Amino acid sequence: MFSLQGKVAVVTGAGSGIGEAIARAYADAGAKIVILERNKEAGDAVAASLTEASSATCIECDVADEASVKAAAQIALDANDGYIDILVNNAGIGHVGTILTTGGADLDRMYGVNVRGVMFVTQAFLPAMVARKKGVIVNMASIGGIVAVRDRFAYTATKFAVVGMTKCIALDHADDGIRCNCICPGRVETPFVQARLAEYPDPVKAREDMASTQALKRMGQPVEIAAAALYLASDEAAFVTGSSLIIDGGWTAGK
């Protein structure tokens, strides 16, 4: 079930957290992994730890920088006979603030990585997928792309954009044999969340509050998101495109 044997998968931001878990799940399913990471050291460490399961490399890349993305994509495509099968736009950053405490520079920074990053990386790899009439894209949105998340003005704005971009790519390129979906996780225990918690005056209470937002009263684990990413990338999801797969421990089930 859910084999990716012989496939080539690019995962952005796989040096940590959810991206790392996705790279691991894909490698275990037989895929060759190319990590695009701003933090080369972290990406290299993950790639090295995957090589027993599958071949994996890391290319240094800032997804917010179009030139950096183009250069990294060229290296990735050249190393894989000009094609990839799967692209996971996972790299993302967070920010705490309401509309009154978010500055223009904060919003620009968030858009740079979370929105422009998804656009640049997709633009760099999609033409090679279209040429083969085959390809799967998985974008990492958030529950903040489905409902408002308190005190996350800029983050929520960017993740609604990711859900929108996902639907546009799915619609515009369905005839090209491309499927594009996104995943909307609730709180998942990763370094990303640890960093957000540290921004609160009382991180211990903030952690309890974060866990209690979910009906299941706990945060998710990266492997629980990776399982969904594996499904969406697999042939078993052949009829799934343009969708937003919510994995939130019941956050949006109701209050």
Ligand X SMILES: NC(=O)c1ccc[n+]([C@@H]2O[C@H](COP(=O)([O-])OP(=O)(O)OC[C@H]3O[C@@H](n4cnc5c(N)ncnc54)[C@H](O)[C@@H]3O)[C@@H](O)[C@H]2O)c1
Active-site residue list: 155
Which residues within the stretch 9-48 sit at the binding site for ligand X (CB under 6 A)? 12-13, 15-19, 37-39, 42
Of 4, 193, 232, 233, the one binding ligand X (CB under 6 A) is: 193
184 DSSP β-pair partners: 246
Shortest separation between residue 175's beta carbon and ligand X, angstroms: 28
Nearer to ligand X, 16 or 243 (CB): 16
Number of residues forming the site for ligand X (CB under 6 A): 30
Which residues within the stretch 222-241 sit at the binding site for ligand X (CB under 6 A)? none
Shortest separation between residue 185's beta carbon and ligand X, angstroms: 4
Nearer to ligand X, 94 or 135 (CB): 94
DSSP of the chain: ----TT-EEEEETTTSHHHHHHHHHHHHTT-EEEEEESSHHHHHHHHHHHTTTS-EEEEE--TT-HHHHHHHHHHHHHTTTT--SEEEE-------B-TTT--HHHHHHHHIIIIIHHHHHHHHHHHHHHHHT-EEEEEE--GGGTS--TTBHHHHHHHHHHHHHHHHHHHHTGGGTEEEEEEEE--B-SHHHHHHHHTSSSHHHHHHHHHHTSTTSS-B-HHHHHHHHHHHHSGGGTT--S-EEEESTTGGG--
Of 4, 34, 64, 77, the one binding ligand X (CB under 6 A) is: 64
Nearer to ligand X, 65 or 176 (CB): 65
Alpha-carbon gap, residue 57 to 238, rounded angstroms: 27
Q: Within a 13 Å sphere around the CA of 118, how many CA atoms are in the beta-carbon half?
A: 28
When asked if residue 50 is in the footprint of ligand X (CB under 6 A), the reply is no
Nearer to ligand X, 32 or 38 (CB): 38
When asked if residue 187 is in the footprint of ligand X (CB under 6 A), the reply is yes
Shortest separation between residue 11's beta carbon and ligand X, angstroms: 10
Stretch that binds ligand X, among 7-15, 27-35, 76-84, 170-178 (CB under 6 A): 7-15
Q: Is 206 exposed, middle or buried (0-12, 13-18, 19+ CB in 10 A)?
A: middle
Of 63, 119, 154, 246, the one binding ligand X (CB under 6 A) is: 63
Which residues within the stretch 88-107 sit at the binding site for ligand X (CB under 6 A)? 90-93
Shortest separation between residue 225's beta carbon and ligand X, angstroms: 7
Q: Which residues bind ligand X (CB under 6 A)?
A: 12-13, 15-19, 37-39, 42, 61-64, 90-93, 113, 117, 140, 142, 185, 187-188, 190-193
